[in-house]
Amino acid sequence: MKALVIYDSMYGNTEELAKEIGRALGSGAKVVKAGFARVEDVTSSHLVIIGSPTQGGRQTPGIKAFVDELPVEAFKDKRFAAFDTRFKNVFAKIFGYAAPRIESAIRDKGGNTTAQPQGFFVKGTKGPLLEGELERAATWAKSIAAGLPTSQMPGDYEVKRKEK
Ligand SMILES: Cc1cc2nc3c(=O)[nH]c(=O)nc-3n(C[C@H](O)[C@H](O)[C@H](O)COP(=O)(O)O)c2cc1C
């Protein structure tokens, strides 16, 4: 399976996660920053994972433009998944997050997303990632590659919160 991870990042945290996800997917995975990704990178892949920092409740303009500009054919016969980095507080929740918006843009273009959009937490605007997030990202990526359900993963923040 040929996998592609496309990301954007202002302070390096989403980039760190993208690289970890790429490693988890195995040696065939390509990890590319949004401005450098080509349509051919997408069309030649079976699994495409797209990640963005949440900024103002949404994905970066670079990620939005990349998805919006992909031709409809690029969405055929492949699996997509979206992740973001975000704050872990109630105020951030009000504005929404990047990953669900990326997912809905993919679906609007006829793309098939098989995994729950996933958010990974940063401590502050510049990071760092909260402890355990890199490992959680690797688990998430491996579950996607294996075709396992990702809605209730071990260590999932949403699941943990409901258990309390
Ligand atoms: C202009 C700006 C707006 C932001 N807005 C949000 C937001 O609405 N919700 C949120 O959870 N985090 C927000 N953040 C924090 C980002 O999620 C954080 O900077 C990002 O996860 C860091 O990833 P990066 O190192 O890849 O840039 C914002 C950050 C910036 C710079």
What are 59-101's pLDDT values in tens digits?
999 999 999 999 999 999 899 999 999 999 988 899 999 999 9
Residues 6 or more apart whose CB falls under 8 angstroms from that of 101 comprise 58, 59
Residue 158 has what pLDDT?
Answer: 44
What are 92-130's pLDDT values in tens digits?
899 999 999 999 999 999 999 888 899 999 999 999 999
Q: 8 C-alpha to center of ligand 1: Å?
A: 11
- Is 80 exceeded by the pLDDT of residue 149? no
CB 18 within 8 A of CB 9: yes
pTM of the prediction?
0.92
CB 4 within 8 A of CB 74: no
Cα dihedral 132→134→138→143 (10° resolution): 60
Question: For a pocket test of ligand 1, which of 83, 86, 101, 129 has the largest count of ligand atoms closer than 8 A to its C-beta?
Answer: 86
**Domains within the chain, CATH numbers bracketed:** 3-163 (3.40.50.360)
Q: 85 C-alpha to center of ligand 1: Å?
A: 7
More confident residue, 155 or 9: 9
